[in-house]
Amino acid sequence: MKWLALPVLAVALAACGTAPKKSPSPSATGGAVRPSPTAPSPTIAGKDCSRYAAAQEDLATRGDYTAGGLYKPGVSDTTPDHVPDLDCIREPVVTAEARSRVGNKSPYSVLGKQYRVLDRVDGYVEQGTASYYGNKFHGRRTSNQEVYDMYAYSAAHKSLPLPSFARVTNLDNGKSVVVRVNDRGPFHEGRVIDLSYAAAVRLGITQRGTGRVEVRALTPDRSTLAASPAAAAAAAAAAAAAPSPSAMDQLVGQLPKDAARYHVPAKPGDAPSAAGFEAWMKANGVRVASGKPGVPVAATPVASTPAVPQTAAVSPMAPLSPVLQLQVASFSSRDNADRALARLIAAGIADARLSDVPGAERPLWRLRVGATDAASAEALAGRIAGLGFGRPQIVRD
């Protein structure tokens, strides 16, 4: 089969105009996929990384493009409701790969504008705005007929050959990542590269949706090329301007690093006692919970359940979804947030969750626990306080 509609393929994935919204990740099904140079091992450093196996083509994502090549322009892109574990995602190895048979036509036209694919990438450097794309395109074929995997470090670019490699550096915080370019785009005015969701998380641009970046092409003989002086200066400035760790970060940071692994029980006796924790909190004037003022648990009405006649058939009850949220703490350090989360999970509080929220200078990690009703919220609050976190507040977003 000949690929005649190249301009359509060129924008099928990478013409995102806004930052993806968060929602649960759809499943990917069927189809073959290339061996991914970024595919993780099933386990890395004791973690189960199987959820980040190379994406398969989702046949439901075929077609559905309009004149001009936009894929489902009326459907908003979304991102997962969790932050990927970057320890499970490896940077691609820069190798000399042959150009793909499709996706490298030069010149090509998209939305009435003409673009040219570079013959050589040596010395290629540009600065501009990066965006990213997520669930809407996960499992869809890219411009060179690979499969877009939002959990791999990949990117879309208008003129770099497919495939090729580049180091992308966030000019605001100095973070960088090596990506494999296997798609075309973004065809949005003022943007220079469209990153996979994982790459955007690595660079710290998911909250704003875009970020100022430097894109530097890499070749096998120059794969360790550092970022430009401007990018290095940005990293130094970000480090100098970084706020000091909060008192809670400092305290939780003293917990053993083993506790930072998800679903790994903490060692008995490693954490400070509840009494010691509370004394430290009072001495330093630290409040653990943050957010909107909490609602007293006793004041929360509990819906009564109608009596069921004894003759009625009893059906298995589905697990109740949390309707209340107990805010335990907020952290400026992801490592410390992981440690606190692991401590709750090790204590049997399985519904503890982390979420990233925008901060004044960097993202914050918010630790919350869901409860199904006021009674369970009261019981959970007591258990959490007994672990040394202080009494959490009930919050409503």
Gap between the Cα atoms of 10 and 144, Å rounded: 9
For every one of its 397 residues, what pLDDT tens digit does the chain have, with 9 covering 90 and above?
334 344 444 444 444 444 565 444 343 333 333 434 444 455 555 677 877 778 777 676 666 555 455 555 556 666 676 778 888 999 999 999 999 999 999 999 988 899 999 999 999 999 999 999 876 666 788 889 898 898 999 999 999 999 999 999 999 999 999 999 999 999 888 899 999 999 999 999 988 889 999 999 999 986 555 556 666 666 566 555 555 555 555 555 555 544 433 333 334 444 445 555 555 555 544 444 444 444 444 444 444 445 444 444 444 444 455 678 888 888 878 878 888 888 888 888 888 888 887 765 667 888 889 888 888 888 888 888 878 787 888 876 5
Q: Is 40 left (phi over 0), alpha (psi -120 to 50) or beta?
A: beta
Q: DSSP per residue over 12-29, as a string?
A: TTT---SPPEE-PPPP--
Token digits of residue 35 = 């061996």
In 3D space, the residue among 78, 174, 64 whose CA is nearest the CA of residue 135 turns out to be 78
Distance CA 343, CA 309 (A): 43
> Residue 9 is encoded by which pair of tokens?
């393929």
Which domains are assigned to the chain?
Answer: 6-239 (2.40.40.10), 247-302+318-395 (3.30.70.1070)
**Cα–Cα dist 47/308, whole Å:** 46
Residue 288 one-letter amino acid = V
Could you tell me the pTM of the whole model? 0.50
Report whether 104 contacts 161 (CB < 8 A): yes
Q: What is the C-alpha separation between 292 and 358, in angstroms, rounded? A: 16
Collapse the DSSP code of 325 into the 3-class scheme (helix H, G, I; strand E, B; otherwise coil) and give the result. Answer: strand
